[in-house]
Amino acid sequence: MADTERPQIYLVTPPEFDLDLFPARLAGVLDAAEVACLRLSLASRDEDRVARAADALREVAHSRDVALVIERHVQLVERLGLDGVHLTDGARLVRKVRKDLGQDAIIGAFCGTTRHEGINAAEAGADYVAFGPVGVTALGDGTVAGAELFQWWSEMIEVPVVAEGALTVERVAELTPLTDFFAFGDEEIWRHDDPAAALRALVKAMG
C-alpha cells in the first residue's frame, strides 16, 4: 500500500447490543465518517437473534453503500443477503467457504499474529487477512501483531491486510503507512458515550 493512501475504516459491532437502540447509534457513526465495511460480531450462538440483528443492520449499512459481513455464520450469508463472512480460525475454512459462497462474496480471515497462517489464507482465496491484537489486551495470550508484521505484509503480499484489536491513537498513527484497513470495535468506539467522536479521533490519527 502506498504511504499516501489512508487506510479504510472497517467497523465491528459490539458482541452484544440492544436491537432497539444500536441501529440508530450505528447510523450516526456511519454518517460521521466514510466506512468501507461493517462486521456483525455477536457473541450469541442463537441463530434467530443473529439473523434479526443482521436484518436490522443490513438496512442501515446498505443504504449507505457499506458492505456487511457476518462473523462465523457462513450459512446465514446468502439467506440474509449479506456481503460475506469473517472467519475467525485463520485459513482452515477459506477454500471451502469460497467454493460454497462463490467468487463475489467477501471472505476475510483472522490470522492472529501468524504470518504463515495469513499466507495460507491469502493463497486459499481470502479477500483480506486480519492480524491482531496490535496492542496489549486482557484477551488472548499476550502476543501482539507488531508493526514489523504489517511492514512485511505490505511489502510482500498483495491481499489487503486489516489491523485490529487494542487499537489506540498511537498504534493507529504507527500502522497507518503499513495497513489497508483498521477494524474499530467495542473497545475503540462503542464503549464511548459518543462513538462518532471516538471514531473521528482515531481517523485524525491517520494524518
Torsion of the alpha carbons at 180, 185, 188 and 190, rounded to the nearest 10: 140
Can you give the residue ranges of every domain in the chain?
Answer: 8-204
Question: What is the enclosing helix (H) or strand (E) of 19?
Answer: none
Which three cell numbers mark 154?
A: 505490505
- What Å distances lie between residue 134 and 66, 172, 174, 184, CA to CA? 25, 9, 11, 12
pLDDT of residue 2: 37
Closest of 113, 117, 152 to residue 131, by C-alpha: 113
If DSSP codes are grouped into helix, strand and coil, which group holds residue 139?
A: coil
Burial 194-205 (b: 16+ CB within 10 A, else e): ebbebbeebbeb
pLDDT digits (tens, 9 = 90+) for 91-122: 999 999 999 999 999 999 999 999 999 999 99
Would the pLDDT of 57 be above 70?
yes
8, burial (CB in 10 Å: exposed 0-12, middle 13-18, buried 19+): middle
Please state whether the peptide bond connecting residue 160 to the residue before it is cis, i.e. omega within 30 degrees of 0.
Answer: no
Whole-structure pTM value: 0.95
Beta strands in the chain (DSSP E): 8-12, 35-40, 67-71, 84-87, 106-110, 128-131, 161-164, 181-184
pLDDT digits (tens, 9 = 90+) for 23-47: 999 999 999 999 999 999 999 999 9
Number of residues that this document lists for the chain: 207
Task: Give counts: helices (H), strands (E), the chain.
Answer: 7, 8
Which three cell numbers mark 103?
A: 467468487
Q: How far apart are CA 166 and CA 138, in angstroms?
A: 9
Fold of 8-204: TIM Barrel (3.20.20)
| Average confidence score pLDDT of the chain | 95
Would the pLDDT of 55 be above 60?
yes
Please state whether the peptide bond connecting residue 133 to the residue before it is cis, i.e. omega within 30 degrees of 0.
Answer: yes
SS3 content of the chain, % helix, strand, coil (to 5): 40, 20, 45
pLDDT of residue 140: 66
Q: How far apart are CA 185 and CA 192, in angstroms?
A: 11
Would the pLDDT of 190 be above 80?
yes
